[in-house]
Structure 1
Amino acid sequence: MTKLLIKTTVFTLVLSAITLVSKAQLGYDYAQYDIGFGGSLNQLYGDAEIVKTKPAAHVNFTYNQTPFVNYVVEIQAGTLEGGDAYKTLSGRFFKNNFTALVFRGQLQAGEIIDYSQSGVMNVLKNFYVSTGLGYILNDIKNDPQHYNNVSNTDPQFTTPGLIKSNELYIPARLGYEFKLFNQYGQPSFKVDLGAQYNMDFTDNMDGFTAGKSKDKMIQYSITFKFALGDVTSYRKQIN
């Protein structure tokens, strides 16, 4: 009877320890990869007098080194448009059906702050900064519906530029990633809201080369991300 009691006690202690260890891991695990889909509103500040807001769609793939250190590869396709052929003195108007490839590194505040004892810090942990390198393929058709570089006041004056070009640019992004957790405390679905400033290395996103400043594109985006791939553990509780 005594031996049975001892065996039962030992078994209970071992089972309790296993359960405790298992529970201790809840909230520490995360998937190493995300696939994301979303859209953006784009504004180009270039050589056309009127700035317009146009849409784009994107797909991205994220490698999560940690839940708060991420590397993103993204493909975008959409429209940039600005100016007016009839209502501006320069007559500059363009419609660029662009495609872009972007690589960004991303650092979220949770990597460097202690959010375990503060509700405010727990909210702030998902803010991030991001930068990297972009490559854009500009495609402006040479017809009145897509492009005009002849002045309204002087038909002899035209603005030079390339309507088809490939260019590098630097993206600088600020954003917030809402993380939704599954039953195991893992971030399985994310909603990413971001504002991105893109600085062109040259000056042909709008098809015009004028003035001293380069083209600048601003994007306001939303992305829905789904976790996939292997699960690994973080050094501290994520949620």
Structure 2
Amino acid sequence: MNHLFKNCLSLLILCLCISSAKAQVGINYKQYEFGIGLDFNTPYTDAQTSKSSRSARLNFTYNATPFVNYVVEMQTGNLQGGDALNTTTGRQFTNAYNAVMLRGQLQGGEILDYSDGGVKNALKNLYVSSGLGVILNDLKEINRYSIKVPGFYTPGSDKSKQLVVPLRLGYEFKIYNSYSEPHIKIDLGYQYNFILGDGLDGFEAGTQKDSYAQFGIGIKYAFGQIATYRKPISN
């Protein structure tokens, strides 16, 4: 009888463990991510025209929850604008810039009840993000003189360092592993970067601060310590 009781107790404990393990499926997530991405840039500066250019980015993310994220991002690439031959000011530039930004990110899933699926379930991966960063401007090509207006010259600096405020709207397509944990993420986003200065194009002109917009795509890989969320993630 004692032997039978021990076997039943062991079986009960095993069932409880299996039940507990099953209950964990779908609510676990990894707290860290590494990502890479490609952006297409459009500057808004003192040059009379803008040109599209590209940049690359690396980012590291800490996931406080699956839908509350803190992102450290590094960008490197070119910003281009102006036309030395066909504009009255003659302003033209190529900025080989580098930037580092820290952003907080809030996804819809943190505040929405998506348990019933439908539209709310689709919106759970929509996010807004903002923060603060530093951009290092390095003007590799610049024209300060006007061909069409003799004597017209625009002063400025070929190198500068300025604060930048990023504002981002995006969507994450989450790919889940066999434990229903977010494993790989495809990130699509539009980001507008407000420069707290006038050095993005190397020209000191006008009263408006410089800025640049980005449309980009990236991929993130989750790794590291596993944490538990309060509700299923892949509902």
When the two structures are superposed, what TM-score results if normalisation uses the length of structure 2?
Answer: 0.95
Question: Which one of the candidate residues 216, 220, 235 is aligned to 1:221?
Answer: 216
Work out whether 1:130 is the aligned partner of 2:125: no
Q: Which amino acid aligns with 1:218?
A: A
Aligned ranges for residues 99-114 of structure 1 at < 5 Å? 99-114=98-113
Match of 1:178 in 2: 173
Work out whether 1:34 is the aligned partner of 2:33: yes
Match of 2:74 in 1: 75
Segments of 5+ residues of structure 1 without an aligned counterpart are none
What is the distance in 1 between the residues matched to 2:161 and 2:35?
25
What is the distance in 1 between the residues matched to 2:186 and 2:160?
33
Segments of 5+ residues of structure 2 without an aligned counterpart are none
Match of 1:234 in 2: 229
Match of 1:49 in 2: 48
What is the distance in 2 between the residues matched to 1:169 and 1:75?
13
Tell me if structure 1 keeps the 8 A contact 2:87–2:148: no
What is the distance in 2 between the residues matched to 1:116 and 1:6?
41
Question: Which one of the candidate residues 145, 154, 157 is aligned to 1:162?
Answer: 157
What secondary structure sits across from 1:140 in the alignment? strand
The alpha carbon displacement at 1:232 in A equals: 1.0
What is the distance in 1 between the residues matched to 2:123 and 2:67?
12
When the two structures are superposed, what TM-score results if normalisation uses the length of structure 1?
Answer: 0.94
Tell me if structure 1 keeps the 8 A contact 2:139–2:158: yes
What secondary structure sits across from 2:89 in the alignment? coil
What secondary structure sits across from 2:53 in the alignment? strand
What is the distance in 1 between the residues matched to 2:137 and 2:77?
10
What is the distance in 1 between the residues matched to 2:58 and 2:150?
43
What is the distance in 2 between the residues matched to 1:50 and 1:153?
16
The alpha carbon displacement at 1:151 in A equals: 1.3
What is the distance in 2 between the residues matched to 1:28 and 1:200?
39
- Listed one character per residue, the Cα deviations across residues 113-168 of structure 1 (whole Å, up to 9, x for unaligned) are 11111222111000000000121110013xxxx11011122231111221210010
The sequence identity of aligned pairs, in percent, is 51
Give the paired residue count: 234
Question: Which one of the candidate residues 178, 182, 189 is aligned to 1:187?
Answer: 182
What secondary structure sits across from 1:38 in the alignment? strand
Match of 1:66 in 2: 65
What is the distance in 2 between the residues matched to 1:189 and 1:75?
20
Q: Which amino acid aligns with 1:19?
A: I
- Aligned-residue RMSD, C-alpha: 1.3
The alpha carbon displacement at 1:7 in A equals: 4.9
Q: Which amino acid aligns with 1:163?
A: D
Work out whether 1:208 is the aligned partner of 2:203: yes
Residue range with higher mean Cα deviation, 29-38 or 4-13? 4-13
Match of 2:17 in 1: 18
